[in-house]
Each structure stands twice: as C-alpha cells, then as structure tokens.
Amino acid sequence: MSNREPITLPEKGLGPEKVLELLKHFKKGDVDYKESRTWSLVYYLGEEHTRFLLEAMGMFLSENGLNPMAFQSLKRMEHEIVQMTAGMLHGDRNVVGMLTSGGTESCLLPVLAYRNLAESKKRLKPVQPEMIVPESIHVAWEKAAHYFKVKMVRAPLRSDFRVDVEAVKKLINRNTALIVASAPSYPHGVIDPIEELGRLAEEHHLPFHVDSCLGGFFLPFMEKLGYQVPPFDFRVPGVTSISADVHKYGYSAKGASVLLYRNMDYMKHQIFVSESWPGGVFASPGLLGTRPGGAFAAAWATMMAMGWDGYLEQTKIVMETARALMEGIASIPGLELMGQPDMSVFGYRSTSPRLSIFAVGDQMEERGWHIDRLQKPDGLHAMVTPLHRRIVDRYLEDLRESVEYVRENPSLALKGSAATYGMISKVPLRGVVKNEVRKMMEKMYGPDMEMPF
C-alpha cells in the first residue's frame, strides 16, 4: 500500500497559463523526435506542417463522427479519404471502407468481420475459427485474436524473412476464417508473397487481408518513382481487404488509418446495430462510438495538401536516406541487414556472438538515440522518415563508435538493458516472459505507479 497522497481534481482551477507551463515541463522527459532521434512512433515533417495539422484539427475539434447525419462534413471527408486511398491501391468503384482510430483498429476489425462471415456460413460452429498469419505479423493481430477468440496459427518465415507460402497452404483447414500477410512487415521491412497468397486464398475461397499499415501510403509512390514493388494491393484478385495508416507515411495527425474492403459483402460483417436500446437505434461501422472529428479533418487536409507530387517528393527523400543508412550499416564490420528490405523500414543484427547487438543499442542510447529492439533473431530496428536525411552521417558515426566500443568491452552484454533484453529474448519458456511483463503492466497502470518526475 502506497503512502503517497492520491492526485485529486484541484479545488480551484490553475488557469490556462499555468497548465500550459506544466505541460511543457512534462515533455522534458520525452524522446527528442524533433531532432530526428527516434526511429519509430513519430512521422514528423517539421513545425510548419504541424501548425497546418493543428489548424485543420482545430476547425473540427468538437465535431463527432458518431453521427454522420449530424456532421455531414465528417462523412464527406471520410468518404473522400476512402476513395482517394482506394484509388492509390488500385481498387475499383466497389471498394468500401472507413477511417479508423489507427492501425490497431484497422487490424482488429477484419478479424471480427471475417470471423462473423465464417460463422454466418455456419462453417465454423461450434469449432473455433482460425487465422493464418506470418510469424512476423504485427502484434496487433495477436491482440485481435485474443479479443475476438480467434485462434492464431503462425506460418514460418523463409530465409529472406518472407512468409513460407507452402507452409501456409499446409495450415489451411476447415476452421480457417482468413489469411493475413504484410506489405511490408514491421520487423524486417519486407513484403510477403502477396500474389502467391492471393491465388491460395482464391483457391480455398478464403478472405485475404494485406496489412499495409506501414506501406499503404508509401509503396504506391515508390512504384511511381521507379522502384521495384511487387503487386500487393487490389490488383491481386485474392486480396479482399487492406489497411493503410494515414498517420504514418501519410503524415497526418495521430489517430487516422484507412481500412478498405473489396466490396460491401465483406465490410457488412463488421457493422454493429442495436435496434432496441432505450437511447434510440444505434449503428456503428467500427469499434469506436465517438470518433474525433479532428482526426478526419487532419487526414483529409493532409492528403489534399500533399497530393501525388508531395508524397512523391517525401518518398524520394525517405528512400534515398534509407538506402544511405542501410549501405552505411552494412559497411560496418560485425553488422548485417536482416534480409533485403523492400522499403524504408529495416532491421540489422550482429554477425558475431561476441558482439552483443543489444549492448550496441545501449551505447547508441547513451549517445542520445531512441533505439528499438527486435528478437527472434536479436537485432535493432529503424523506420526512416524525411527529416532523418539530416542525421545520416551522425547516426552512422555513432553506430561505428558504439560497435567498436562494445567489441572492446564484451562485458557490456551482461549489463543494463542489454543483459535484460538478451536474457528475455532467449528464455525458452515464453509464458514466463509473458507473466513477468504482465506484472510490469499491472504495476505501471496500478494506483501506486511511480511518476517519472
């Protein structure tokens, strides 16, 4: 039991100036994304673009997408966002969809829809529905499986980190409700064999979702610039749905992803309707009731302001920067890229058991970088954005120094977070890791949470 006094609502309001001062103070412990020190989480294009987003969001700050008849402006923007995204991804006029609160909701909803679709055909009752996914699929799909009681069946990866299509084929059975693949995968930045999987899905009459939350607002522009991009979208006949985040490489404000279905025959299975609630007839296309209007406005405004030319310009910068970083990393003795990344997201690892990649990550963080770790296999991760072009040389210099320092001091693998990550990644009983992390989360969200400052 904590002796700390609980935080209560102030008896007298502090006033706007004092509150804003406190908010600025709170930010002091956050990662420095404005100086391009982060490699995930934030897709920052600078203060001018941020001010534009704030103005667009502010115009619709109080509007609520819950009722499209009350706020027809939001429904218009959502409809146009869906149509523009469908056009980018080679969908025809039958493609339908919605703006969701983010990539996770865009992953949750297809699992719900395709589970309901399978159950409507009475194929799966009373057995548990299953979905087949690559081992590299984003963790949001595991969350969806947990929430909606769908069994996740993981297919192994090939040596190039793409899913093994033959393994997927062998996993299909009468309980299979959907197949999922990535374009690209979050850990390694590679596109799964979408065309092969599409043919497999068609052959077995199964829904097939392409998780392109990362690539949906990037790959079309890469292709337009002349880069080799394998077909991953609605050009592949077997693809029945696609997710693409506007708040990632679409450069909109947080809280905006697009979920598309080839036609309403699929999407209708995620729609919720209550006809007998005393509060009136209620209908919702997604998980949320209230849907913040500011996210609609920021997404629509960003897409309209950027246009094809704006996205092409940013994609060109990102790809040139990513190539420079990947070439630089590959040139450092002791490091190698994981596979051959298809776009601007990649992982890299140590080539020697005597060089702890997690200790290298620790050294990079001591130099001011926010570093993401991978496991199975162990590695470090990077997701490149346009403003990273100004820090390529600095990052590579710090990385070379970090690798050399760890090579000269191998005992660093047994210290700090390197020891923690190294141990966790190698514990054979994954249930033990899960239970310990769950305890950490319970403490973090419990009444005795320790404040960072």
Q: How confident is the model at residue 1, as a pLDDT?
A: 42
Number of domains observed in the structure of the chain: 1
**What are 429-441's pLDDT values in tens digits?**
556 666 766 676 6
Is 80 exceeded by the pLDDT of residue 415? no
* 52 located within any domain: no
Structural domain boundaries enclosing 161: 60-304
Alpha carbons 302 and 81: distance in angstroms, whole number:
10
pLDDT higher at 422 or 207: 207
- Does 36 fall in a domain? no
pLDDT digit string (tens) for 391-411?
A: 999 999 999 999 999 999 999
In a domain, 441, yes or no: no
Q: Token match 């934030």: residue?
A: 42
pLDDT at 438: 67
When mean pLDDT is compared across 29-38, 219-228, 240-249, the lowest value belongs to 29-38
Q: Is residue 285 part of a domain?
A: yes
Flag whether pLDDT at 287 surpasses 50: yes
Does any domain span residue 184?
Answer: yes
Has residue 65 been placed in a domain? yes
User: What is the full DSSP assignment across 244-277?
Assistant: EETTTTT---SS-EEEEESSHHHHGGG-EEESS-
- Distance (Å, rounded) from C-alpha 398 to C-alpha 395? 5
Contact between 395 and 39 (Cβ < 8 Å): no
Mean pLDDT, the chain, integer: 92
Report which of 432, 449, 369, 440 is spatially closest to residue 402, judged by C-alpha positions.
369
Flag whether pLDDT at 7 surpasses 60: yes
Q: What is the pLDDT of residues 131-165, one digit of tens each?
A: 999 999 999 999 999 999 999 999 999 999 999 99
For residue range 310-346, list pLDDT tens digits in order.
999 999 999 999 999 999 999 999 999 999 999 999 9
Burial of residue 72, with CB atoms counted within 10 A of its CB: 0-12 exposed, 13-18 middle, 19 or more buried: exposed
Q: Report the C-alpha gap between 103 and 314 in whole angstroms.
A: 21
Is it the case that residue 123 has pLDDT exceeding 90?
Answer: no
CATH code of 207's domain: 3.40.640.10
- Positive or negative torsion for Cα 169, 171, 174, 177: negative
Residue 238 has pLDDT above 90, yes or no: yes
Neighbouring residues of 402: CB distance < 8 A, sequence distance ≥ 6: 360, 363, 364, 367
Residues 385, 391, 397, CA angle at the centre, nearest 5°?
A: 130
pLDDT of residue 6: 81
The answer to whether 267 and 67 have CB atoms below 8 angstroms apart is no
Residue 429 located in a structural domain:
no
Q: Please, which residues have CB within 8 angstroms of residue 2's CB and are 6 or more apart in sequence?
A: 447, 448
Is there a domain that residue 274 lies in? yes
Listed residue (36, 139, 44, 46) closest to 370, CA to CA: 36
Q: What distance lies between CA 48 and its chain's CA centroid?
A: 25
